[in-house]
Amino acid sequence: MVKIELTNGDVLRMNLKNRAREKSLRDTWYAMSDMVSMQGKVLKVTSYTGNKYELKISEVKNCECSDSLFDYSTPEVEKFIPPPRKIFENSVAPKDPESVPDLIQHVLDAAEEIFESIPEKYKANLFTFLSELRKVDVPFLIIDMESMQIASGAMREEDPSKMGMHVQRFIDHWKSKGDKNFLV
């Protein structure tokens, strides 16, 4: 039996006409898989049942052969089904929350997951930015779009010496808006 894992996640399992062909397919793929010039070459494979596959070397992630026989009660191609993606909806509350504490915990869990996905360098910049604002008693609220853009620029700043520029820009924006649009 030959087992071919593809880069898209699909897995092909099949028998070829004889064991020598299975070993030859595996050896051919192995020899060509790490050669850049061979990545566009196509392997033409015909299974024992007559199914034909044309696979580029670059599409094959792994190829193995074994002495066992493939059981044709299952399909030769096992399609990859990606796990469901988590989607964060900030405008819709979860359906039928059991209680207010459950709803709060759901929001906290989502915020923690988002925060964990931020690169460490960006987190450090964000903490520096927010602590500088606290030092001068300037509040930060995320519902003002320009404030968010300034904070985003500070978070992505490559040069730490320029953080003061972002803080001052935020303070100037805050003063131009007045206290009415910002909450502590």
4-13, 17-26, 174-183: which has the minimum mean pLDDT?
174-183
11-15, 45-49, 164-168, 180-184: which has the minimum mean pLDDT?
180-184
Same domain, yes or no: 70 and 124: no
For residue range 136-163, list pLDDT tens digits in order.
988 887 777 888 889 889 988 888 889 8
Domain assignment of residue 83, yes or no? no
Going by their DSSP bridges, the two strands 42-46 and 52-56 should be labelled as antiparallel
How many other C-beta atoms can be found within 10 angstroms of the C-beta atom of residue 51? 13
pTM score of the predicted model: 0.45
Query: Is there a contact between 117 and 50 (Cβ–Cβ < 8 Å)?
Result: no
More confident residue, 184 or 170: 170
What's the pLDDT band for 98 if we cut at 50, 70, 90? low
Domain assignment of residue 19, yes or no? yes
What's the pLDDT score for residue 124?
A: 87
For residue range 29-75, list pLDDT tens digits in order.
999 988 889 889 999 998 888 889 999 999 999 999 988 888 777 78
Domain assignment of residue 47, yes or no? yes
Same domain, yes or no: 71 and 132: no
Number of domains in the chain: 2
Share of residues in the chain with pLDDT > 70 (%): 89
> For residue 175, what are the domain limits?
118-181
